[in-house]
Each structure stands twice: as structure tokens, then as C-alpha cells.
């Protein structure tokens, strides 16, 4: 529940309206401070200037905003809310911001963008891999004047949200706990039958995970890891596969240097900061343009936007494999912010790089210069994908510290 909705209605409404007006007229850094002070929670509401979701969709059409309704307009499956859920093209998010608000001034909706831009994300990540979100946008067609995803796409998007974003809370059982059908599994089976899709029975999280994988709707491992931070079923799935944090000894890290950093001639400075932070670069060849294109598409779910910075650092331009012979265990406070981290030196090095890159830059010219793996499991996975023939040699180098 939104914190303001717990206040007496007139007070909560007044604060929400004030917050909404400030949100439209102040610079971003001040909006953030006020939002933290008044305590709004994640979520979106129809702007009071519009009043209803129908008016919102009409305004989108009038402004030429590219969107797709992905929930709330089709037969519901128990466990998924029936409120309006929309996917807005990244290019149109700025225009859409004036029509929706984080303040509870009107009808509640869900609003996302393919890359999970601020205010249009699921927590701190895209709702789904950007390629799947773009698939929904590309396949949407007008239905009674509303841009709506096809029934088949809606079904897959709903299963995705049930299995990966809700897990056991969806009402779908895990295989070992399955005791037969339930309202949610019956509804899933009925919709699949209407769409001509064959499901393995009994319906479980495991069977739906395999079904989604077979239809190219399973998220990549790095996104599954982030989901596993709140979905214990996903965390257990990865743990059994040896793909969860702790399955490898900490120390190895892969750093993704972004193109803007290289274009500004700051590569050597970044590598010096990594070395002074305690990382030793390992001997791996530079990636080919084809490999860099694959990294761009797969790592971070294909999301290389600007994030919380004024500018984007661009796509990855170079990838380095490094080893820390004396990892620093993250403390509890750090793990609350970075639950997948296995070596605090990674964060220290990234902050040192960020400070060096931003030195002398105006605030509006700052960007994220570098991305990295969070733990050794992710790093060794990247090595297997990028330099499979070198894994034995790299393990020998790291085992000897």
C-alpha cells in the first residue's frame, strides 16, 4: 500500500496533489528529495488532469505515444491484478510522464518501458527482458481504439509475471508440492487450450518454466539472479544448477568498459584505477565486434541506458577479466543494497573509477563509465561464454593467486 493512502483521506489527497504538482515543476534532484520526504511508494497513477484510464489511453493516442496494453484489458488469471498495465516505448516515456504520476491522486495503473527507465520499471529492473517487451510493442494492434497485445502474447506475458515475478505467491505450486489443480492452474490450462497451446500437466512452476523456455520467454540468467533476490523459488532453481552466488569462490570479476569512456580517452585511467584497487588483469584477447554485439544484447538484459545518470555510457566497448586475490566480504548493509555481491572490492573499484571519470565533468555530463559482474559465479559464466578455451588456464592462474 502507498504510504500516503494510510493517512486520513483529505490529508493524503492533499499531500499527493502537492507532490504531483512539485513533480512537474522542479528539477529532478529536488523532486527526488521531496519524494523521499513524503514517502511515495513504487507505482503509477493516472494524472488528475486526465482522471481515468480511458482518458489516459485517449491522450496517448492523441499525442502519438507508442504503447501496448499488456494487462487489465483481457481475461484475467487469478494472481494477476486486473488494473491497467501498459508498456510505453522508451522514446515516448518523457511525454508519458506528464500523464501519469507516482502520487496517489487517481486511478492506479502499472506503467513500464522496455529498458525499465526510471518510473517505468519493476522495482530497479525492467519488467521483462527488453527484447520481449519490444516484441509486445511490435505485435500490438488497435482493439476498440486501444493498442493491445495479441491474446497469445498476453498469455505469455502473464505466465512470465506469474512464474518469475511472483513465484510461489502466484498460487502455482512447485513440483514437489503439487496436489492437483487450483483456480490459477485451471485458468492457465483453459486459456492455453483456447490458444491451441499444449501444457504439461500437472501445471507447476517447473513445468511452466520449461514451457516458457521452449517458447523463448525465459529470462536470461543475469535477470533470473536479480529476480532470485525476492523470489525464493528462482533462487532455489539457480542454486541447484550451481548458478547462485556462493557456488564459486569470490575473486574473479568481469568489467565491461562502456564506449563513451573509451571515446573520451579514459581507458588507461580506468585500468590504472582497477589495478590500484587490488585487481590484476588476466590475459584474454580483445573481443571481436561480433562478440561485443552479443554482449550488448545479452548482458544486463540488453539494457545499456543512462540509468540514474544524465547521459548513457553507451554500449560495452571492451571487456576485461580481472582477479582479486584478497576479496573483501560485503557487510550486511552493503548486501542489503547489492544482495548478489560476493566481494566488496568490486564496489570500491567501481566507485573509484566513477570518481575519476567524473572529475572535472559538469553534473549534466556524467555517465556510468563501467559495468561489472557482481560475483564470481557471474564472472566464470561470462568467461565460458566469451573465452571458453581459456577457462582452464584462467582457473590455474586464479587458483595460484
CATH number at residue 379: 3.30.70
- pLDDT given at position 105: 75
Structural domain of residue 192, as residue ranges?
A: 158-240
- pLDDT given at position 113: 94
The verdict on 23 and 94 lying in the same domain is: yes
C-alpha cell at 352: 573509484
- pLDDT given at position 41: 46
The verdict on 94 and 224 lying in the same domain is: no
- pLDDT given at position 179: 72
> Which of 165, 8, 5, 3 lies closest to 71 in space, CA to CA?
165
Confidence of residue 306 (pLDDT cuts 50, 70, 90): confident
Of 115, 149, 183, the last residue of a domain is 149
The verdict on 32 and 83 lying in the same domain is: yes
The verdict on 28 and 166 lying in the same domain is: no
- pLDDT given at position 38: 46
Of 214, 240, 266, the last residue of a domain is 240
- The answer to whether residue 348 is domain-embedded is yes
- The answer to whether residue 205 is domain-embedded is yes
> Which of 47, 67, 85, 77 lies closest to 145 in space, CA to CA?
67
The verdict on 11 and 144 lying in the same domain is: yes
Tell me: the pLDDT tens digits for 89-148? 999 999 998 899 887 777 889 999 998 887 898 887 889 998 899 999 999 999 999 999
Across the range 185-201, mean pLDDT stands at 93
The verdict on 284 and 382 lying in the same domain is: yes
The verdict on 275 and 327 lying in the same domain is: yes
- The answer to whether residue 221 is domain-embedded is yes
202: cis peptide before it, omega within 30°?
Answer: yes
pLDDT surpassing 70 at residue 301: no
The verdict on 268 and 234 lying in the same domain is: no
C-alpha cell at 234: 528462482
The verdict on 8 and 136 lying in the same domain is: yes
Across the range 319-339, mean pLDDT stands at 95
Confidence of residue 380 (pLDDT cuts 50, 70, 90): very high
- pLDDT given at position 175: 87
Q: Give the percent of the chain with pLDDT over 90.
A: 68
Confidence of residue 304 (pLDDT cuts 50, 70, 90): confident
- The answer to whether residue 267 is domain-embedded is yes
Long-range contacts of 295-298 (CB under 8 A, 24+ apart): 295/256, 295/319, 295/386, 297/131, 298/220, 298/385
Q: Which residues contact 174 (CB under 8 A, 6 or more apart)?
A: 168, 204, 205, 206, 233
- Model's pTM, two decimal places? 0.81
Rounded to 5 degrees, what are φ and ψ at 111? -130, 130
pLDDT surpassing 90 at residue 30: no
- pLDDT given at position 308: 77
The verdict on 278 and 374 lying in the same domain is: yes
Residue 52 in contact with residue 111, Cβ under 8 Å? no
Across the range 213-240, mean pLDDT stands at 94
The verdict on 274 and 380 lying in the same domain is: yes
pLDDT surpassing 60 at residue 239: yes
Of 122, 149, 176, the last residue of a domain is 149
Residue 276 in contact with residue 299, Cβ under 8 Å? no
- pLDDT given at position 238: 96
- The answer to whether residue 245 is domain-embedded is no
- pLDDT given at position 11: 53
3-state secondary structure of 279: coil
- pLDDT given at position 185: 92
C-alpha cell at 151: 491474446
Mean pLDDT, the chain, rounded, equals 88
- The four Cα atoms 214, 384, 338, 23 give a dihedral, to 10 degrees, of -60
- The answer to whether residue 246 is domain-embedded is no
In this structure, the number of other CB atoms found within 10 A of the CB of residue 365 comes to: 13
The verdict on 339 and 273 lying in the same domain is: yes
C-alpha cell at 345: 572490492
Distance of CA 394 to the CA centre of its chain: 30
More confident residue, 274 or 1: 274
- The answer to whether residue 14 is domain-embedded is yes
d(CA 174, CA 233): 8
C-alpha cell at 171: 498460487
The total of structural domains in the chain comes to 3
- pLDDT given at position 39: 43
pLDDT surpassing 60 at residue 71: yes
Amino acid at each position: 500500500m502507498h504510504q500516503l493512502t494510510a493517512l486520513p483521506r483529505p490529508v493524503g489527497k492533499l499531500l499527493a496533489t502537492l507532490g504531483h504538482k512539485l513533480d512537474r515543476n522542479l528539477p529532478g534532484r529536488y523532486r527526488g528529495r521531496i519524494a523521499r520526504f513524503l514517502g511515495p511508494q513504487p507505482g503509477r497513477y493516472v494524472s488528475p488532469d486526465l482522471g481515468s484510464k480511458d482518458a489516459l489511453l485517449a491522450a496517448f493516442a492523441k499525442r502519438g505515444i507508442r504503447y501496448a496494453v499488456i494487462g487489465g484489458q483481457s481475461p484475467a488469471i487469478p494472481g494477476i491484478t486486473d488494473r491497467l498495465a501498459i508498456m510505453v516505448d522508451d522514446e515516448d516515456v518523457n511525454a508519458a510522464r506528464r500523464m501519469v504520476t507516482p502520487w496517489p491522486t487517481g486511478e492506479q495503473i502499472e506503467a513500464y518501458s522496455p529498458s525499465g527507465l526510471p518510473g517505468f520499471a519493476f522495482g530497479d529492473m525492467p519488467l521483462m527482458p527488453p527484447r520481449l517487451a519490444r516484441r509486445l510493442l511490435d505485435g500490438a494492434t488497435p482493439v476498440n481504439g486501444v493498442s493491445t497485445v495479441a491474446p497469445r502474447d498476453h498469455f505469455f506475458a502473464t505466465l512470465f509475471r506469474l512464474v518469475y515475478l511472483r513465484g510461489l505467491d502466484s498460487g502455482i505450486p512447485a513440483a514437489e508440492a503439487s496436489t492437483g489443480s487450483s483456480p490459477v492452474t485451471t485458468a492457465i490450462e483453459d486459456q492455453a487450450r483456447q490458444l491451441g497451446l499444449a501444457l504439461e500437466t500437472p501445471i507447476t512452476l517447473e513445468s511452466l518454466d520449461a514451457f516458457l523456455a521452449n517458447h523463448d520467454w525465459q529470462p536470461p540468467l543475469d535477470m533470473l539472479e536479480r529476480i532470485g533476490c525476492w523470489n525464493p523459488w528462482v533462487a532455489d532453481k539457480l542454486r541447484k544448477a550451481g548458478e547462485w552466488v556462493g557456488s564459486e569462490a569470490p575473486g574473479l570479476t568481469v568489467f565491461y568498459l562502456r564506449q563513451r569512456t573509451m571515446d573520451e580517452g579514459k581507458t588507461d585511467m580506468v585500468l590504472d584505477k582497477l589495478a590500484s584497487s587490488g585487481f590484476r588483469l588476466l590475459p584474454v584477447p580483445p573481443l571481436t565486434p561480433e562478440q561485443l554485439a552479443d554482449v550488448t544484447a545479452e548482458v544486463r538484459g540488453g539494457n545499456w541506458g543512462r540509468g540514474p545518470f544524465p547521459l548513457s555510457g553507451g554500449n560495452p566497448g571492451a571487456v576485461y577479466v580481472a582477479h582479486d586475490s584478497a576479496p573483501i566480504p560485503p557487510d550486511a548493509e552493503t548486501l542489503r543494497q547489492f544482495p548478489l555481491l560476493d566481494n566488496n572490492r568490486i564496489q570500491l573499484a567501481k566507485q573509484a573509477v566513477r570518481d575519476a571519470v567524473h572529475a572535472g565533468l559538469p553534473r549534466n555530463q556524467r555517465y556510468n563509465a563501467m559495468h561489472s559482474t557482481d560475483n564470481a559465479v557471474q564472472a566464470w559464466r561470462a568467461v565460458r561464454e566469451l573465452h571458453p578455451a581459456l577457462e582452464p588456464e584462467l582457473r590455474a592462474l586464479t587458483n595460484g593467486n
